[in-house]
């Protein structure tokens, strides 16, 4: 089963994609994770991708398409995958289709933009082990410190308010276009992303039966 997670930043695509990957025993392919891994390796593509991400801008299509299709060509994706963060626009959707990747479901997690700003700007990660936190929804026991290793929590550059607002603005028009694209192909499924995580998960699991 080939699945695309669609929605604005903060809608919960990553969380739900990981759940689907576990249930269906297929890879969770996140372009954001791929870009960050490439940056940590200090290769040219990763450095270029981070430069755009830090400004809240989209990574150029040629970089995004190349890294995504390379990942989907690996053996573990032959029996299915969950795409998280790709495609982001119609050109990328066409590239995916032209690569012969038939999409069974496009799950669009829709949520109000005010709620998304709250979710994104409240995110923190551990500077040591990378553990995720949120100042409202999942705060640490000790303010500003990781529960697991005690290292300081940090706010990623792409979660700062000015960057978040720009990310949402850039993504909204493109997401609407993708929703229309996949609706025409009969693959679009809409889920209310303002619900709690467990409820969203339950609706997606029911949809994929």
Where in the sequence numbering do the catalytic residues fall?
13, 88, 123, 156, 167
* Distance in angstroms (rounded) separating the CA atoms of residues 79 and 30: 17
DSSP state of 74: S
Angle at 84 between CA 168 and CA 17, to 5 degrees: 115
Q: Residue 204: is the preceding peptide bond cis (ω within 30°)?
A: no
Beta bridge partners of 38: none
> Using an 8 Å Cβ cutoff, are 188 and 101 in contact?
no
């Amino acid at each position: 089963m080939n699945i695309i997670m669609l929605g604005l930043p903060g809608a919960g695509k990553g969380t739900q994609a990981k759940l689907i990957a576990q249930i269906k025993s297929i890879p969770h392919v996140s372009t954001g994770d791929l870009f960050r891994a490439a940056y940590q390796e200090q290769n040219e593509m990763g450095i270029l991708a981070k430069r755009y991400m830090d400004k809240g801008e989209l990574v150029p299509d040629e970089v995004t398409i190349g890294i995504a299709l390379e990942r989907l060509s690996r053996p573990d994706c032959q029996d299915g995958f969950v795409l998280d963060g790709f495609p982001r626009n119609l050109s990328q959707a066409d590239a995916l289709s032209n690569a012969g990747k038939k999409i069974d479901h496009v799950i669009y997690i829709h949520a109000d933009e005010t709620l998304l700003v709250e979710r994104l700007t409240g995110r923190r990660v551990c500077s040591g082990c990378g553990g995720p936190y949120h100042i409202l929804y999942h705060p640490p026991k000790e303010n500003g410190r990781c529960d697991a290793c005690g290292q300081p929590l940090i706010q990623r550059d792409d979660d700062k308010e000015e960057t978040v607002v720009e990310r949402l603005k850039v993504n909204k028009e493109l997401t609407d276009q993708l929703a229309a694209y996949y609706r025409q192909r009969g693959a679009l499924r809409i889920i209310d992303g303002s619900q709690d995580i467990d409820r969203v998960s339950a609706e997606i699991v029911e949809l994929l039966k």
